[in-house]
Amino acid sequence: MSTPMNVFDIFEHDEHFQTIMKHLLEASMDTSFNGIMITEAGPGFPIVYVNPALVELTGYGPHELVGQSPSMLQGPNTSQWVLDQLKEQITAGEMFHGRTSNYRKDGSEFIMDWRIVPIRNAAGDITHYMAIQREVVTDNE
């Protein structure tokens, strides 16, 4: 019986394929309707990338977000319980899904639904996290 193979495994060492995949991923992230943030896994989780949708959602420019902690978007109504669940799940190397209040640059509050996934290196160590975020406009979303 043959072992299923991932298409990425076939082209792992093909530089042309790697370049194409890099451009496809960049285009996907830059044109997504959802806000995307990538942070380092280290202390404070410094932001290393934000896409245009996140910039539009928060009102902060990329230069204001990159290098900062995602906690800059939190405020009085951000649920500590949700943040505790987030910490517990990502510390265990699991994906997190939650909903809580965040705040825009102008101070206005919005309800955010988001998922955070760990990004691992070849050795399996978590080096970054990717957060995919969207504003919840109604309770039916």
User: Helices (DSSP H) in the chain: which residue ranges?
Assistant: 7-10, 15-31, 52-58, 62-65, 80-91
Locus of tokens 């919005």? 110
Tokens of 118: 């760990």
Contact of 96 with 116, CB cutoff 8 Å: yes
- Residue 111: is its pLDDT beyond 50? yes
In-domain check, residue 127: yes
Total of domains in the chain: 1
3-state per-residue secondary structure call for 94-121: CCEEEEEEEECCCCCEEEEEEEEEEEEC
Q: What value does the mean pLDDT take over residues 103-108?
A: 98
**Spatial contact of 54 and 38, defined as CB atoms under 8 Å apart:** no
**CA-to-CA distance for 135 and 58, rounded, in angstroms?**
10
Region of poorest pLDDT, from 54-58, 127-131, 135-139: 135-139
Per-residue pLDDT for 5 more than 50?
Answer: no
Does any domain span residue 86?
yes
For residue 32, how many C-alpha atoms fall within 13 Å in the half-sphere facing its CB? 20
Structural domain harbouring 130: 34-135
For residue 47, being part of any structural domain is answered with: yes
Residue 19 lies in a domain: no
Q: Is residue 129 part of a domain?
A: yes
Q: Which of 57, 73, 122, 66 is nearest to 86 (CA)?
A: 73
CATH code of residue 118: 3.30.450.20
Q: Is 123 inside any structural domain?
A: yes
Task: Give residue 13's pLDDT band: very low, low, confident or very high (50, 70, 90).
Answer: low
pTM of the model: 0.82
**Does 65 map to a domain?**
yes
Taking only the tens place, the pLDDT of each residue in 59-88 is 999 999 999 999 999 999 999 999 999 999
Report whether pLDDT(39) > 90.
yes
Say what the pLDDT of residue 101 is. Answer: 96
